[in-house]
Amino acid sequence: MSDQNKVNGNSKNEQLEQYRADDKGKKLTTNQGLKVAEDEFSLKAGERGPTLMEDFHFREKMTHFDHERIPERIVHARGFAAHGEFELYESLGEFTKADFLNDTSKKTPTFVRFSTVAGSRGSAETVRDARGFATKFYTEEGNYDLVGNNIPVFFIQDAIKFPDLVHALKPEPHNEMPQAASAHDTFWDFVANNQESAHMVMWAMSDRAIPRSFRMMEGFGVHTFRLVNDEGKAHFVKFHWKPVLGTHSLVWDEAQKISGKDPDFHRRDLWESIENGDYPEYELGLQIIAEEDEFNFDFDILDPTKLWPEEDVPVKLVGKMTLNRNVDNVFAETEQVAFHPGHVVPGIDFSNDPLLQGRLFSYTDTQLSRLGGPNFHELPINRPVCPFHNNQRDGISRQTINRGQVSYHKNSLAANTPSPTPEAEGGYVHYQEKVDGRKIRGRSESFKDHFSQATLFWNSMSEPEKQHLKNAFSFELGKVKSKSVQQQVVDMFANVSLELATAFAEAIDAVPPQGEESSVTKSSPALSQLNTFKSPKTRKVGVIVGSTVSGEVAEILQSLKSSGIQGECISDKLGKRTADDGSELEVMHTFLTATSVIFDAIYVVGGSDGATFKKNALHFVNEAFAHFKPIGGTHEGLQWLKEAELAGEPGVVSGEGKDEFVKYFTEAISVHRHWNRQV
C-alpha cells in the first residue's frame, strides 16, 4: 500500500484492522467483556427445573442470534466481493479534477461486489441473469461508487418503472416460482408491453448473461455521467471495466448443470483465484463525448437503453484495478457494504438520464431499510479513508462519539465549524447546467427508438452466438404458459430480427411473423465475445489419471502450469499417485465429487483401472466435447479418444510427443470454445 494511499497515517486496510477480531486462543466473554465460566447449559432452578430469566448470558447469546439476519437486498441479493487497488496509467486532468484520476503515483483502495440480480441470497450463481459489478473507490477526497452491471444498457428508461420491472422479474407472487429465473409469464408479459426493454433483453438472452467467471466479465457504468475539469468544462462519459483475461461465457447446458453441481461456482472461482495469487485484473475504460457533440448521434446519449458503439466512440483505457485480497468476513463486508451512484467526488457529476436520476434517491432509501438507519456509512467497510465532519447526529447504530455542544450551522460557539470548503480548495460543486422547461410527465421523442440498437446487437453476433440467442428465446418462452404472451413477444422481436423471431416462434408453436427484415445493417464487432482477447492463463484443466501413471504426465502438467494453466487430477479415489519415475501426483477430485462442467478443459491420461473407470472418464470427455471445450489425450487416454472417434475433431489434441502435445493443447485452451465442432 503506497504512502499516497494513507490519510492521517492510516490506509484502508490499516483502518479496518481496529475492527478485526481473531478469537483463536482467547477466553470466552459476553459482549460486555465479562468472562464466561459455562457455555453448555443455561441457568436452571435445579437440574430438571425451568430456565431462569436471570440468565443474562443465555439471553444475550440468544437475542443476538435471533437478530443475526438483516433484510437481503431486493435485487442483487446473491453477491460476493473482494478488496483491491486501482492504479492510473495517465493523468486525466484535461477532463476531470478528480484526484484519483490525476495522480499516477497513487494506488487507490477499492472494494468490488459482484452479484446476480433476480435471485435470493441462497440462489445459484450461474443462472441466466445480468450481473452487478459495483466498485467502491476509497479516495482521499471521499468514497466514489461506480455502481454498474456486466451489460451496458438497461430494461427501462425511467426509474419510476423500476418497481414494475422487478415485480415482473421476481418469482410470481401466487406460488413464489421460479427462483432466480426470467423464464416465466410475468417477466415476458412485461417485456411485450414495455418495448423499450428490447435491447436489454437481447443482451440477457445472449452469452453475456451466463459469464464463465467474474474474472472474465466486463463491467459497465450503464449511465451517462459527466467529467468536469478544473476550468469547469464538462464532458459526457461512460465507464467500462475490461477484464484482462478477456470476456468469456458458459454454454447454457453447462450453466444449468453447474447450478446443481456447484451453486457457489462463481464465488468459489473468485475466492480460489485470489488465494492462489491469480489476481483478477480489469482495465478502466472511458468513452468521452464533448458537450457540443451531444446531438451528433443517431441515438440519445442520455437514453439508458442505448450504448455508444465503440467504433463511433472509442474506449480510452486509463488505468487498471487488481483484486488482491479476499474478505475476512462475508457478512461484515460483502453484505453490509452500501453502494450508491450518488457517492461521487469533485470532477464527477451526473447527466439527466431519468433512470440515473431515480437511482440517486433509491439507493439511500434502501440502505436505510437494510442497515437499520442513517449511520450505515459508519460501518467499517463503508467508512471513507479520509476524515469526515458534519452536524449529523444520533440515530440507530451511531458509532461516532461527537464532543462539544454545537451540532448546527451557522454557529458562533464553535467559530462556525465544521465549515464548508470552497470549490478552489476541493469542495464539491454541482455542474451548472442550464435547465429550462415546463414540469411534465413525459420523455423526449429521441428516446422512442426501441429496436435499432437491439438489431445492432443481433447484427454484431457471430453465427454461434446468434444460434445461442435463438436457443435462449426458445427455452425462456417455452416455459411461458400464456399463448398470448408468447405471440406478443414473437411479434415484438420481429422488429429486431425476422430470422430470430421466426426461429423461436417455430420452436414454441407460435405464429411466425410476417414482413421484412429490419433495415438496420450497422454492426459493432466489439460486441461479439468471439473478438475478445484469448489467453490460457488461470484456465482449470481436469486431468483424469488411473492407478498407474507415467512420469511424463507430471512434466506435461508442469509445462502447462508455466503458461498459467492449472491442472487438477481426477480419479476414482483421492490420494497420491506414484508415477513410474517416482514422481507423485495428488488426486484432488473423484468422479463423485467432480464433474466436467467445473473445468475449462479435460485431459485424459488413463491408467488401466478397469471398465468402470474408463466409462467414467469418457463421460467427462463426452460432456466436455458437447460443451465445445478443449480435450487432450496422451498415453492410454489417447487410445480412448480414438475409440470414441473424437481424435482429430476441432479442439481435441492428441499426440505422442510431449512438447508437441503441450504446444497444441495450450493453443486449444486459449481459444476457450471450439464452435466449429460437430456435436
| Catalytic residue ranges | 76, 149
Residue keyed to cell 454461434: 464
Residue 601, φ and ψ in degrees, nearest 5 = -160, 160
Per the structure block, which three cell numbers stand in for 476? 425462456
CA distances for 84 relative to 193, 320, 322, 579, angstroms: 42, 10, 5, 41
Q: Dmax of the chain from CA atoms? A: 90
Report the b/e string of 550-574 with b at 16+ CB within 10 A.
bebbbbbbebbeebebbbbbbbbee
Bridge-based pairing state of the strands 584-590 and 566-571: parallel
Per the structure block, which three cell numbers stand in for 179? 427462483
The sign of the dihedral angle between the CA atoms of 420, 423, 429, 435 is positive
Residue 251, φ and ψ in degrees, nearest 5 = -100, 160
Angstrom distance (rounded) from CA 157 to CA 304:
6
Nearest to 108 by CA among 245, 217, 13: 13
The Cβ-side half-sphere exposure at 142, using a 13 Å CA radius, reads 17
Angstrom distance (rounded) from CA 578 to CA 572:
15
Which helix (H) or strand (E) segment holds residue 486: the answer is helix 483-493
DSSP string, 369-397: HHSSSTTGGGSTTT--SS----S----TT
Residue 157, φ and ψ in degrees, nearest 5 = -105, -20
In terms of C-beta density within 10 A (0-12 exposed, 13-18 middle, 19 or more buried), how is residue 147 classed? Answer: buried
Bridge-based pairing state of the strands 79-88 and 316-326: antiparallel
Identify whether the C-beta of residue 51 lies closer than 8 Å to the C-beta of residue 425: no
The Cβ-side half-sphere exposure at 528, using a 13 Å CA radius, reads 16
Angle, CA 472 vertex, CA 476 and CA 525 arms, to 5°: 145
All residues at 6 or more sequence positions from 405 whose CB lies less than 8 Å from its CB, including other chains:
413
In terms of C-beta density within 10 A (0-12 exposed, 13-18 middle, 19 or more buried), how is residue 627 classed? Answer: buried
β partners of residue 589: 570
Residue keyed to cell 495517465: 90
User: From edge to edge, which strands make up the β-sheet containing 652-654?
Assistant: 575-578, 584-590, 566-571, 540-545, 601-606, 631-633, 652-654
Amino acid, single-letter form, for residue 627: H
Assign 78 to helix, strand or coil. Answer: coil
Nearest to 189 by CA among 489, 448, 479: 489
Identify whether the C-beta of residue 165 lies closer than 8 Å to the C-beta of residue 190: yes
